[in-house]
Chains A and B, each alone.
Chain A
Amino acid sequence: MSTTSELDVVMLGLKGTGKTYFLTALDVVLDDHSDPDRLEHIGMADNLSYLQPLREQWLRGDELGRTSLQTQQGHQFILRHAASGTRVNLYVPDLAGETFERYFDTRTFPEEFCATLKSSSGLLLFLHSESEGRPELLEAPSLMDEQAASNTSPTSSTGSNVPPWSMEQASRQCKVVDLLQFVEEVGSVKPVKVAVILSAWDVVERMRKELANDYPNDPDKLLALRWPLLNQFLATRSDLFTFRVFGVSARGGGSTREEIERIKSISNASDRVRIVDGGHSSNDLSRPIRWILGLLNDHG
């Protein structure tokens, strides 16, 4: 008789990186029982007050609202991996991106979040596919102020009109790497498994037709191109982290009227979803979770 494991997976990401979309689309996709190698629902959580309204919005093609800053949301999934006979009760908390920004600003994690991290099986780290991790440096002559450029001093005093640097000015890449360094300091089990989710992957697939160099059709390459500091940090600290990169379109398209109509016209709602990693492409959003839980058959 198989036993049921109680597991947590933590979603970490700055605001607007698609955490709630992922959670909601995952809930829909888990209803698919066609492939024993996927994770699938085998029960319903007692409390659906958080996810059920989101699920209905998602199915209607509506945009999901921002996650509340006031209370910790999350959802309990009751799952089975039929191929291995594994049963999992998986809890995934859903913290607002603003919460993670605040953790970075204040250089703190609440003890409750530290406890969740310590007991979790791994991290889902969310980045938006269109976001730029690299610093936007003043290099192109067209971006420089000619009058200012004629000044020969390489340094500046704070007397100028330029606002001083503050925590919120930090680049996304800096914030994410520092948050991972916090995680590393908290975590008791090393290496921490990090599934990097590049959200809104449909944008990449659309943009690469015109800008193939800026939008490589491979999540690993996009991460290395746009988020080099993060990519190098994860790759060089294999003693602290193991990671795998996934391109995910959890909504299935944009939010224009035409896009919403197109999304709604797809007869099987879970077919809106797309996940890409390595040579794999499907709608199986359980892949990052299965990778974290050690249930991913790479040949599948």
Chain B
Amino acid sequence: MIDGDESNAAPIEAEEVLEAGPAKDRVFHSGEKLALEECGRIMYARPTCLVVCAGSGDSGKTTFIARIREMFAEGSFKEFHFAGSLTLCAFERVSWLATITSGSGRPVTERSHIREKDEFFHLKARSVCDGRLRSDLLLNDLPGEAIASALQHKDYFDELPSVLRADHLTLFLDSQRLADFGERHAERDRAKQFLSRLQTVKHNCDSLDVTIVFSRWDYITRDVQRSAHEAYAETIEQDYRVRFGSAFHSLQFFRVAARPGLSQDRTDDAIQSIFARWLADPDGIALKALRHPSPKRDFSSFGLR
């Protein structure tokens, strides 16, 4: 048996076995995003990595997540192979408007709604390199409205259990806004404020891995003032490294164009690198060790226990 296999672990079903009507059908997972209770059951059963994708509205968080599943579905993921998901229907749903079948004419993504702030995509993957099955991955696509509320009211973080429990924060800075001289400072400041606020509300920030994504990077690479925008992004990177470099367990920066415009290069390799970063700990040992000293990192963060 390959190390990391979980033959004896609890099955990955998230739904309880229910009896539906007189036919006594066996009911399985819905395929849609998981609620906190369902995540809690998975986290209780197996090592789990919880990732929060946060950023302004329309910054490409959902598209980024959709692209991960699309790469698995088209067989272009290099470092990891797909090993299961309880939320395949949710993944299909967010990719729908990017398919030929939908008739949308343009690859877009349905934006997430504030009611989805406590819902999670689920993925399992096996490393191609070492053949080991990685921790279950729970992905929270935090709507832009939630970030805005959290910046205005510190107490709102109490309503964001995913952020308080997160092992990884992937924060999106929208390159379309960064390429707009009227918007770029606000976009930069919003992310800085969020990270600053996070330090004051989240326990164990020193165990949080933070990834800054300059998303929709094609808006910069195709702009006539490309070099100026690239320099501005570089400035942000340097500024954040100074401000937050020692505040978190790690801090890395990526430039991503998950669905670039016509004739623009997609940055699938960068997306795969971020995914690999999420699942860098093959056994979830660090995660388990981190959970025990601090109940804030466990289910209490969800208000479940």
Take A134-B74, A141-B262 as given contacts and tell me if A156 and B110 are in contact as well, using a CB distance cutoff of 8 Å: yes
Please indicate the chain A residues that have their CB under 8 angstroms from the CB of B262 in the complex.
141, 144, 149
Q: A99 near B: Cβ within 8 Å?
A: no
For B101, the chain A residues whose CB sits under 8 A away are: 136, 169
Q: In the complex, which residue of chain A has the Cβ closest to the Cβ of B101?
A: A136
Tell me whether B6 is interfacial, beta carbon within 8 Å.
yes
| Contact pattern, B 263-276, Cβ under 8 Å of A = 1, otherwise 0 | 10000000000000
- Give bound CA distance, A164 to B94, whole Å: 10
Contact B73 A228 (CB under 8 A): yes
Decide if A232 is an interface residue (CB 8 Å cutoff). Answer: yes
Residues of A within 8 A of B88 (CB): 170, 174, 177-178
Interface residues of A in 127-175 (CB under 8 A from B): 133-139, 141, 143-145, 147-149, 151-158, 160-165, 167, 169-171, 173-174
Given A114-B26, A137-B100, also A151-B73 (CB < 8 A): no
Residue in chain A with minimal CB distance to B106: A148
A256 on the B face (CB < 8 A): no
- In whole Å, how far is B273's beta carbon from the nearest beta carbon of chain A? 19
Choice from B72, B98, B103, B263 contacting A137 with Cβ under 8 Å:
B98
Best-surrounded residue of A110, A154, A186 (most CB of chain B within 10 A): A154
Q: B60 on the interface (CB 8 Å rule)? A: yes
Tell me, rounded to whole Å, the shortest Cβ–Cβ distance linking A231 to chain B: 8
Query: Of all chain B residues, which has the CB nearest A108?
Result: B25
B284 at the interface (CB under 8 A from A): no
Please give the distance in Å from B126's CB to the nearest CB on chain A: 4
Contact call B2/A135, Cβ cutoff below 8 A: no
Q: Tell me if B99 and A236 are in contact (CB < 8 A).
A: no
Contact between B89 and A170, CB atoms less than 8 A apart: yes
- B1-44 contacts to A, CB under 8 A, are 1-2, 5-7, 11-13, 20, 23-31
Given A169-B101, A228-B75, A233-B83, A106:B1 Cβ within 8 A? no
Q: How large is the interface on B (under 10, 10 to 19, 20 to 34, 35 or more residues)?
A: 35 or more
* Smallest CB separation, B289 vs chain A (Å): 25
The reply on B95 being an interface residue by CB < 8 A is yes
Cβ-defined contact, B25 with A163, below 8 A: no
Residues B106 and A144 in contact, CB atoms below 8 Å apart: yes
B176: interface (CB < 8 Å): yes
Q: Are A155 and B95 in contact (CB under 8 A)?
A: no
- Complex Cα distance, B1 from A247, in Å, reads 29
Distance (Å) between the CB of A147 and the closest chain B CB? 8
Q: Contact partner of B104 among A139, A148, A228, A233, CB < 8 A? A: A148
Q: A154-B58, A156-B109 are in contact. List 7 more A-B contacts (CB 8 A).
A: A111-B25, A135-B74, A144-B105, A149-B261, A174-B91, A228-B73, A229-B73
Interface residues of B in 108-162 (CB under 8 A from A): 108-111, 125-126, 133
**What count of chain A residues pass the 8 Å CB interface test?**
61
Which B residues lie within 8 Å of A293 (CB)?
none
What is the bound-complex CA distance between A161 and B106, given in angstroms? 13
Residues of B within 8 A of A149 (CB): 105-106, 261-262
Return A193 CB to nearest CB of chain B, in Å.
Answer: 16
A135–B99 contact, CB under 8 A? yes
User: Considering the chains assembled together, what is the distance between the CA atoms of A174 and B92 in angstroms?
Assistant: 8
A185 to B27, CA, bound (A): 10
Cα distance, A162 to B81, chains bound together (Å)? 32
- Please give me the residue from chain A that is nearest to B258 by CB atom: A154
**A46 CB-CB contact with B under 8 Å:** no
B residues less than 8 Å from A107 (CB atoms): 27-31
Decide yes or no: A135 and B70 within 8 Å by CB, A149-B106, A239-B7 being known contacts.
Answer: yes
Interface residues of B in 63-106 (CB under 8 A from A): 63, 70, 72-75, 81-86, 88-89, 91-93, 95-106
Q: Is the CB of B11 within 8 A of A185?
A: yes
A91 at the interface (CB under 8 A from B): no
Distance in Å from the Cβ of A52 to the closest Cβ of chain B?
31
Q: Which residues of A contact B110 (CB under 8 A)?
A: 155-156, 158
Q: How far is the CB of B183 from chain A (nearest CB, A)?
A: 13
Residues of A within 8 A of B103 (CB): 161-163
Bound-complex Cα distance A137 to B133 (A): 28
Residues of chain B within 8 A of A157, CB atoms compared: 111
With contact pairs A154-B259, A232-B81 given, residues A167 and B58 touching in the complex (Cβ less than 8 Å)? no
With both beta carbons as reference points, the residue of chain A lying nearest to B219 in the complex is identified as A152
**Residues of chain B within 8 A of A156, CB atoms compared:** 97, 104, 108-111
Complexed CA–CA distance, A151 and B58 (Å): 13
Those 6 A-B pairs whose CB atoms lie nearest each other, nearest first = A145-B105, A228-B75, A155-B111, A148-B106, A108-B25, A165-B96
- Beyond A149-B261, A156-B104, whether A181 also contacts B58 by CB under 8 A is no
B235 to chain A, nearest CB (A): 24
How far is A136 from B102 in the complex, measured between Cα atoms in Å? Answer: 10
Taken together as a complex, chains A and B put the C-alpha atoms of A177 and B73 apart, in Å, by 11
Contact of A228 among B74, B83, B133 (CB under 8 A): B74
> Could you say which of A110, A155, A224, A232 contacts B72, with CB atoms under 8 Å apart?
A232
- Chain B residues contacting A177 (CB-CB under 8 Å) are 84-85, 88
CB distance from B109 to the nearest CB of A (A): 6
Q: Which single residue of chain A is at the shortest CB-CB distance from B17?
A: A185
B107 within 8 Å of A (CB atoms): yes
A182 part of interface (Cβ distance < 8 Å):
yes
Residues on B with beta carbons closer than 8 Å to the beta carbon of A161: 103
Judge whether A237 is part of the interface by a CB distance below 8 angstroms: yes
Could you tell me which residues of chain A, from 224 to 242, have a CB within 8 Å of some CB in chain B?
224-225, 228-229, 231-233, 235-239
Name the CB-closest residue of A to B7: A239
